[in-house]
Amino acid sequence: MRKKNLLKAHRKPRELKKLGLTMRLSFVMVFCAVLTLSANTYSQDLRVNLDVKDVSFSKLFEEIRKQSNYSFFFNEEKLSQLENITVKKNKVTVKEVLEEVLSNTNLTYTMVDDVIVIISKKTVPRVRKIEQQSIVGTVTDFETGETLPGVTVLVKNSVLGTTTDIDGNYKISLSKNFETLVFSFLGFETKEVKIEGNTTINVELKSKTNQLDMVVVTGYQKLDKRVLTSSIERVTAKELELKNVMTVDKMLEGKVTGLQITNNSATPGAAAKVRIRGGNTFTGNQSPLWVIDGVIYEEPVLLSASEINSFDNVNVIGNALTGINPRDIESINVLKDASATAIYGIRAANGVIAVTTKRGKQGKPNFNYSYSSSIVDRPHYSDLNLMNSKDRIDVSREMYERNLGTPAGNSYENTDRIGYEGALMNYWDGTYNFQQFQDQVSSLESLNANWFGELYRPAINQSHNINVSGGSNQSRYYVSFGYDDQKSTERGVDVERLTARANLDFDLRDNVLLSFKINGSVQEGTYNHSSINMFNEAYYTSRTVPVYDSNGEYAYLSKPLVNNSRSVRDEDGNAVYGRYHVMNEMDNSKRNITNKDLGVTANLKWTFLDGFSFRSQLSYRNTTNLQEEWIKENTFHVAQLRTYDFIEDHIDENVDELASVPFGGLYSGGMVSQNSYAITNQLNYNKVLNDKHVVNFNLAQEARSIKYWGATGFTVPGYSHDNGRRFVYLPQLRTSSGSFDFESYPYDNMINWFSKGQLYPSITDRTTNSMSFFGMFNYVYDNRYVVNFNLRSDGTNSFGQFKKYRFKPTWSVSSRWNLHNEKFWNEDGNIDELALKASYGVRGTIPSASPYMTIRDFGPETGSSYFSYNENVAKLVSFPQTNLRWELNKTTNIGLSYSMFNGRVSGAFDFAYSFSDDLLLVRPVSGVNGALSQMFNAGSKDVQSYEFSIRTVNVKTKDFSWSTRFNISHDVDRVLKGFEEAIGDSSSESQDAALTISQYLNGGIFRKGFPSSGFYSYQFDGLNNKGLPTFKHLNEENATPEQQLQMMMVYEGQRLPQYYGGFGTEFRYKRFSISANLNYKLGYKTRLLNLYKGSQQLPLPYENMQSEFNNRWRQPGDELITNIPALSNDLLKINDDYATNSGSGIFPNGATLWRLYDLSDARTVKGDHIRLSSLSLSYRIPKDILENMGIASMNVGFQASNVGVWAFDSKLKGQDPDQLRNVGMPNNSTYSFSLNVGL
């Protein structure tokens, strides 16, 4: 067969280049004919010399083509039916020849420019006679609405045809007896349209990548969505459109039903908290498993389950996704039910998120560059309900007038004469006269120092990404390179990341595909030293405290030095002060966290015999986490450790007895490396029988090894940053008469500090090997009925693994009924998809306890003691836990997925019931067992999840389209069996078996009938006539702690939302598109930011307060109109005066009534809110502008993200309900610009 470009003659060469390969291919596919070549010039009168004997017609035409450059267009089948022919003629025109040779046949010809089309004779007369019709139209991409140039438009049952021009327009003239046009284009589905008298026919072609959309990737399998039996939801790259975040977890919020994302920190590099359908364990890790291209990604640093689970813990160390560039992602599949996750075995009880990266497609190199830059707004005082200077002075004035003094128990002496109090002190000792005093106060009242402005900044982020993809028919490549620079609004925080990826595919033979994926990344984060809490600093510093003094230097504060909770005092017993300014701390310290990630995967797929294929995947991944932090000697933090300020003289005795860092600064560091290897071998058999039965078997084996090793947390004093980053060593021990003179050694406390182990790192060295076998069986009958069975069994060497649970299987069964393929349901074919799915599966998690007695620190004794054994010792870690079983989870999922009207309405309903039993809980037992509590498989919970999603294409015309998507998830999470005891003693020597008060207050009560994130509050009972808070049931004579707890606390609700989801809409008008994304969370409660800092109820002169205090109780009677307590110097410590059972663990340790107030129902609010998470506008630059620049396509876009939050509870007063009480930093609005260039 020969293929030549028929169109070349009448198209400009430059345009042709763009059409490229795709056009040529499409022609080949449409016709089963030989196309012969054309030329640039032609002439009707061209003459040829022919001398052929007994040749076929095609040979003859070939001869004519050679001499004339006419192209021929014919149906070879028809031509081959003709007998051979002999022609001998000189200098005849082509017309003459053709008329002669065709005269005895049923064929004739027409000439269209330089193409000679051979057609059947009987139609010809009609063509001439029958009325002609002319049809015009535009062909566009169904997905994007963009016009498609070069689409082949053919008249069905004829050889007539044309192609669309550069703007996607076509024009075709044909006789009225033709009824149908066929539109085809490479990479798109061919579409037939009936003419039915229309003169304008606009057509949308669906991309065949749409068929890619039909593929769901689970990591081990690629499944056709149409036979999918389990609950898997797919998100494509296009939907992940947040421009200003570096990891993909944050982009998923509101996008997938059943997936709950909590972004609890705006700090770059901080990991989001991810939950699929509420989680299925109490004490284990509740996060899903992340799988990238079939490779399980591990956390770079081993964290405990409670650290990962806690919503109050921010992890900036990095998570499994740190090195993945979201722009390399093709799609994300969220595996929710047991049927979907069973093939991941014991790791997957909390769901799996499988990410697929982009791969190259056959074609010439496709280059893409994208740039985005965003600006993040800093927090403003107006967002934070804080007092201004005037309000704050008013508080001080009231404190003075009511003679409240400084807070009890605080020795702060205001040596700097800060604030109103300082001015007053100056007035009293005569430094100021009354006039000066008044001037000072009024100047303070208008000072309004801008701490947020100084410590925060609008941050500018940028990201550059380049990728090239393409390939021949034997090899394909996708190569990308990305750079991100994310600055935090917090000064000093900056994260930079480089990522690179190469995904290569080679067809070694027709039946052997070899793929390599190589990716690497380096992320370098700079943070402020961990002794600095920037948000608290800005939040709690009074605006009457200037940032700079009159010379423009830092305005330092003097604060008393306290080391190891002992106040430093001079010879006269007076407190020793150090100068403090947060910016000085910041300038002289740093924390660096670097994450490096290297991954290599090789994948071989061999197809053999009939329907067999074998796939083998070998992967290696290494992540390295490096951390260091240092702080210089000229900071307050080190001054405390040194017992004297940098510029002051020291007192030898203090240094000796109290200083842990007597000279230099402090340096600490650590590194953790994670290596994982995996090999997976899969044998697949896929057979179609009688076009009706599809059978698919998959047997696989996998071996994995993960090793963590490293040392973290070593701390060394004597750090000298400025003198070449070195350490000043300890002075040597002096000797007197041959023996060491310990008595005169000047740094006793430092030695003591060392000996407590502060100096030494802790070593991580842990290898986990696992071996798994699994099988998948799938049967489809007539594209209507599908059944699926999965089975997996794992064995691991996890330390102390229960041998009896090795290779215990997890399994699932599932089925699907494609109603749309049933004639009785879908007669008119309007329903594209309507399928019922049902699945049931059993998953398990192996207890992480050991059946053996385990010990640690075997070796010579450490630590300080007078005596020495001079032999090895070992500490008990755990008694053997021989009685434990798997945590078991059984999930049933029933789903309905639908798609109608050519995909204009689609979505899914899902109901899942997940029942978890034998959950590990710590239960009380007789102390005769050696401990008063014991792990038991005693807990159980269930979660009912209701999920609904709908996508609609509301309007769709050539120039305008409008689509929307909406989803909602509702989780009902219930504890069925939990702790037997209401309250336990959190500080008793043994690990206690019941709930602690902090679990009641912070969520995490595992009590029957309550959701597992439920929490309680104390009950505020109004202010008394002194403006002090009172609470219900604090005094209950003769009540046991349990009884009192029951009366005193009120159940608030759950911390996790019961309803959540998202809404998005997109408008496209010509080259513009606008989209908006909202997400919402409903049915949960949260606490307001604390009014009181720690146990302190009165602010120090340099401390700010919330502006809610402007409505405080000021005089008797106010208790009727306000709930904000009065200023008081009463400590209100909870003891027998205020409460019964005060020592029994039903109050937080050392709590005061002020703290109770913050933990009361007066300070809880409904968290229900809707967040406008992004608003985007993009514009496609017209091609004719780009043409001159040699650019194929260009998009510019603007996006505003985190634009606003509508919260329904008025008590929030603008506080973002997702803002954490103890982390503080709210998510701020971000404005991004993006540019996308394709060549």
Distance between CA atoms of residues 624 and 62, nearest Å: 67
CB of 886 to another protein, least distance (A): 17
CB of 850 to another protein, least distance (A): 7
- Maximum pairwise Cα distance, the chain: 131
Query: Among 1207, 1221, 1206, 1205, which residue's Cα sits nearest to residue 1167?
Result: 1207
Q: Between 735 and 926, name the residue whose CB sits nearer to another protein.
A: 926
Q: Between 340 and 982, name the residue whose CB sits nearer to another protein.
A: 982
CB of 1214 to another protein, least distance (A): 43
CB of 704 to another protein, least distance (A): 9
Q: Between 157 and 1149, name the residue whose CB sits nearer to another protein.
A: 1149
Q: Between 45 and 989, name the residue whose CB sits nearer to another protein.
A: 989
CB of 993 to another protein, least distance (A): 7
Distance between CA atoms of residues 794 and 769, nearest Å: 10
Q: Between 553 and 871, name the residue whose CB sits nearer to another protein.
A: 871
CB of 703 to another protein, least distance (A): 5
Distance separating the N- and C-terminal Cα atoms of the chain: 32
- 10-to-41, 109, 451, 518 alpha-carbon distances in Å: 10, 20, 70, 45
Asked if 589 and 630 touch (Cβ cutoff 8 Å), the reply is yes
- 545-to-386, 444, 581, 1029, 1112 alpha-carbon distances in Å: 14, 8, 11, 30, 23
CB of 937 to another protein, least distance (A): 12
CB of 876 to another protein, least distance (A): 5
- Give the β-pairing of 1059-1069 and 1072-1082: antiparallel
Say which amino acid occupies 755: S
Q: Between 594 and 793, name the residue whose CB sits nearer to another protein.
A: 793
CB of 802 to another protein, least distance (A): 11
CB of 213 to another protein, least distance (A): 35
CB of 620 to another protein, least distance (A): 7
CB under 8 Å to 550, separation ≥6 — which residues?
Answer: none
Radius of gyration over every alpha carbon of the chain, rounded to an integer in angstroms: 38
CB of 245 to another protein, least distance (A): 35
Tokens 């449409």 -> residue:
30
CB of 1198 to another protein, least distance (A): 48
Distance between CA atoms of residues 158 and 46, nearest Å: 27
Q: Between 928 and 1121, name the residue whose CB sits nearer to another protein.
A: 928
Chain mean position to CA 1012: 24
Cα angle value 195/136/151 (rounded, 5°) = 90
Q: Between 434 and 866, name the residue whose CB sits nearer to another protein.
A: 866
Alpha helices in 621-676 (DSSP H): 636-642, 652-658
User: What string of DSSP letters covers 129-150?
Assistant: HSPEEEEEEEEEETTT--B-TT
Asked if 886 and 844 touch (Cβ cutoff 8 Å), the reply is yes
Q: Between 365 and 860, name the residue whose CB sits nearer to another protein.
A: 860
Mapped onto helix, strand or coil, the DSSP state of residue 396 is helix
CB of 779 to another protein, least distance (A): 29
Distance between CA atoms of residues 419 and 1093, nearest Å: 19
Tokens 């909202």 -> residue:
1078
Cα angle value 849/854/856 (rounded, 5°) = 120
Q: Between 1038 and 1188, name the residue whose CB sits nearer to another protein.
A: 1038
CB of 980 to another protein, least distance (A): 10
Q: Between 514 and 1089, name the residue whose CB sits nearer to another protein.
A: 514
Asked if 809 and 842 touch (Cβ cutoff 8 Å), the reply is no
CB of 671 to another protein, least distance (A): 15
Distance between CA atoms of residues 1017 and 1031, nearest Å: 11
CB of 877 to another protein, least distance (A): 6
CB of 870 to another protein, least distance (A): 8
Q: Between 710 and 895, name the residue whose CB sits nearer to another protein.
A: 710
Mapped onto helix, strand or coil, the DSSP state of residue 591 is strand
DSSP symbol at 1208:
S
Q: Between 805 and 1015, name the residue whose CB sits nearer to another protein.
A: 805
Tokens 């998005």 -> residue:
1064
Q: Between 307 and 549, name the residue whose CB sits nearer to another protein.
A: 307
Distance between CA atoms of residues 790 and 341, nearest Å: 9
Query: Secondary structure of 516-572 in the HEC alphabet?
Result: EEEEEEEEEEEECCCCCCHHHHHHHECCCCCCECCCCCECCEEEECEECCEECECCC
- 189-to-141, 475, 834 alpha-carbon distances in Å: 11, 24, 21
Q: Between 759 and 931, name the residue whose CB sits nearer to another protein.
A: 931
Which CB contacts under 8 angstroms, 24+ apart, belong to 1178-1183? 1178/1072, 1178/1073, 1178/1234, 1179/1071, 1179/1072, 1179/1073, 1180/146, 1180/1071, 1181/1071, 1182/1071, 1183/166
Distance between CA atoms of residues 641 and 619, nearest Å: 48
Q: Between 533 and 878, name the residue whose CB sits nearer to another protein.
A: 878
Distance between CA atoms of residues 965 and 903, nearest Å: 13
Distance between CA atoms of residues 665 and 632, nearest Å: 4
Q: Between 824 and 869, name the residue whose CB sits nearer to another protein.
A: 869
Q: Between 794 and 1168, name the residue whose CB sits nearer to another protein.
A: 794
